Chain A
Amino acid sequence: MKMNTNASVAIEIKNLSFSYGEEEILTNVNCKIDVGSYVGIVGHNGSGKSTLLKIILGILKPKKGKVYLFGKDNSSSIEWNKIGYVSQKAGIATSHIPITVEEVIKMEKVTDEAVNEALTSVDMFPFKHKLLRELSGGQQQRIFIARALVKKPQLLILDEPTVGVDIKTQNTFYELLKRLNTEQAITLLLVSHDLHTISHKVKTVIQLDRKTYPYNITSCSVNHVHEPYATTK
């Protein structure tokens, strides 16, 4: 198994390229995301955000290049206990199904104590026995974060977590993420199409297509047009 000795790096992407058939989606992406970072990946629809996320999670295989998670090549094996993931599709199947919050968390193999702890960490413990479909969109997102947190991951990846959530709830939601990052030292990677909001919330922005977004991004900026390493701060 190939190892990268730098243990302070949560995600390292090296010379990554990916294409769907003839169409090249990602070209020569290089990036390091340090442990403890709070990073947002932004880009317009079709810029390759979700593709990049799927490659990081090992769901898609890159045409070229490597991804290392906590120093280990993700094409060999992934330590899933270190990674929490909140999918964009997490709530799709639950709108008409009477599943309780507790049952959602227990999809992970965990104890009752761990369920209580995870729900408390997102301020949702009083809702443990409620049906998921009775909760608002923002509350449901907190439950899915609790499910991702229940195995105590070091890296939390969220795919478009605030789609369909109102501004007030979004602010509370980002407060929670900030708390998880600062108090529990969880590395956060957020994927969103909403550059404007993200750029005010996260510490570092990775922009997948500069041409489309004329914003001035400070700190880390990675695009897929042959840019050298960019390390997050």
Chain B
Amino acid sequence: MQQLSELFQYGFMVRAFWAGFIVAIIAPLIGNFLVVRKLSLIADTLSHVALTGVAIGLLIGINPLITTILCTVVTAYIIEELRSNERVSAESVLAMILPGGLAMALILISIANGFNTSLITYLFGSITAVTQQDVWIIFGLGIGIITIFLMFYREFTYTSFDEESARTSGIPVKLINNIFMILIALTVSVAMKVVGALLIGALMIIPAITAMQIVHGFKKSILVSIGIAFISVVSGLIVSYYANLPAGATIVMVSIFLFAFISLLRKV
């Protein structure tokens, strides 16, 4: 217990926990709807685009979180426009934009030729890199995402499960889909510093599919998945600190362990 309290004497750990708590709420909140929409890959796609945002931020010398948000929101809008016109399948759109985001990031890194170390902290997450300014931005955006989510819960649910029927219920489907895509983009940007761009998709999806195995009801699935993400983030941060492991990777491995454990329990 004393060892645990030692943990909170370090400013970077306190900041990591605060940022982690917010991410543990918003990632599975959005993730449940991604599973319903069969759009699990979108988080990975936007996280690759987020790298472009990071590279731009580092290149022009402003907080990369801001440029990341801009890049992911614009890309999320483009994805939704391409997906909704039904001329290109959602899967193909994601398959095109994912490597595109990575390619653009690599080109920018090559042009800058010098911030590879900084970029790695965004690729895989780094709790020591979370600044007080990041915490405030993450906190503000997190509250915003949760508020919008609560305001449009029924609309998000109806549109995710049955877009055509939602339209005949008078729901402005296009607007709701655009708002939802912006929330995904913001969540990816917010979570990147803690979990890492390449691992955020896992924290959105794994707690959701774990919860869906054991709950009776969609609302319960959202609540239980937040609990699972919370356990993953807290235990992942603690283990990573004492075992000197990368935080994002440890958090994701804990969530995979919980998924495997619950899957096994259900079979017994």
Contacts and interface: CB of A to CB of B under 8 A. Distances in A.
Contact of B212 (A80, A97, A104): A97
Contacts of A123: none
Contacts of B219: 103
Interface in B207-242: 212, 215-221
Interface stretch (A1-9, A34-42, A87-95, A182-190): A87-95
Contacts of A167: none
Interface string A186-219: 0000000000000000000000000000000000
User: Mostly helix, strand, loop or mixed at chain B's interface?
Assistant: helix
Contacts of A96: 35, 212
A175 interface: no
Given A85-B164, A90-B162, A96-B212, A107 B169 contact: yes
Interface residues of A, number: 30
B227 to A, nearest CB: 15
Contact of B165 (A85, A97, A99, A131): A85
B156 to A, nearest CB: 10
B36 interface: yes
Nearest to A97: B36
Contact of A99 (B163, B168, B217): B217
Given A80-B168, A85-B164, A97 B218 contact: yes
B61 interface: no
Contacts of B168: 57, 80, 83-85
Contacts of A100: 216-218
B166 A107 contact: yes
Question: 4 closest Cβ contacts across the A-B interface?
Answer: A85-B168, A80-B170, A107-B158, A87-B164
Interface of A: 57, 59, 80-81, 83-87, 89-90, 92-94, 96-100, 103-104, 106-109, 131, 144, 147-148, 151
9 contacts: A57-B168, A87-B164, A90-B162, A93-B161, A93-B162, A96-B212, A98-B215, A99-B161, A99-B217
